[in-house]
Structure 1
């Protein structure tokens, strides 16, 4: 079954910018072996968004980071993100807390899903709420890993 990748109807970029901690993710090739992942978003002078993803390599203990850029689209909650030259991928904000405390983010398929938080931990009831939303949308939440645990 294909997941529901409909984005949020409104995204206040000024509230979304800043630091996000990765609470959980579906493992993917570009983050494999990374724990304590953090994403930081800031506005560039040209209106694009600077994206800095960092995390600890579990084999070496060293911090690895990748710098990219994102641009808004005409669809609320849909950004296009690039870490390599001209190749862009969907970054879909599927759900966000009314106070921007947590976010559920996906890509263009069920291969990508992240639970993000403004703090390194979320209350169990908040995690349960986000997991429920992901399940309702058709994601297999059993595939999620929790790299901060």
Structure 2
């Protein structure tokens, strides 16, 4: 497994080392709101990264970024994140997600560290679904500090009007849309 790509959907692992503090973490903004509930089975499958806030763990990715989720028998989720590097090679990161708040919680935690250290809180990163259309076709994922954001879609392209409406909702949540960078998905 290459470690250059930790996740298109994983906040920095160290985020979970300190508790979320809502307004204090977002520079005075109200606490980040999630969707009311998540149907994990409907969320499974492949998602294309449409845009993101730039981050260190994806800096070698030039595009074609996807996340594929598979429900495990134990209720956790296998995660496979993939992107293309500048030299044309593919970078993969495998991880696992859990729903500590219960089967419909939109607040997940993701780990890409080895299972042997899964007992350490700092190896789990927050993965909060903060926007999701009723058909499970377009999603936004962030974390309490609003340092990370990913916009994900079931297809590599999103209707511009639908995308603009999503951006409006994310801006209303206190996310800085000036930081958002589109992800290359097609030649």
Alignment TM class, shorter chain as reference:
over 0.9
Structure of higher CA gyration radius = 2
Q: Distance in 2 between matches of 1:3 and 1:63?
A: 38
Gaps of 5+ in 1: none
In the alignment, structure 2 segments of 5+ residues that lack a partner are 1-26
Correspondences of 1:82-93 after superposition (within 5 Å)? 82-85=111-114, 86=118, 87-93=123-129
Match of 2:132 in 1: 96
Cα deviation, residue 81, structure 1 = 0.3
Matched-pair contact (CA < 8 Å) for 1:5–1:92: no
CA contact (8 A) 1:15 1:100 kept: yes
Q: How does 1:1-149 map to 2 (within 5 A)?
A: 1=27, 2=29, 4-34=31-61, 35-58=63-86, 60-74=87-101, 76-85=105-114, 86=118, 87-148=123-184
CA RMSD of aligned residues (A): 1.4
* Cα deviation, residue 33, structure 1: 2.7
Secondary structure of 1:30 counterpart = helix
Matched residues, number: 148
Separation in 1 of the partners of 2:42 and 2:165? 21
Return the offset for 1:23.
0.2
Assess if the C-alpha contact under 8 Å between 2:31 and 2:144 holds in 1. no
The structure where helix makes up a greater share of residues is: 2
Given the two structures, how large is their TM-score scaled by the length of structure 1? Answer: 0.94
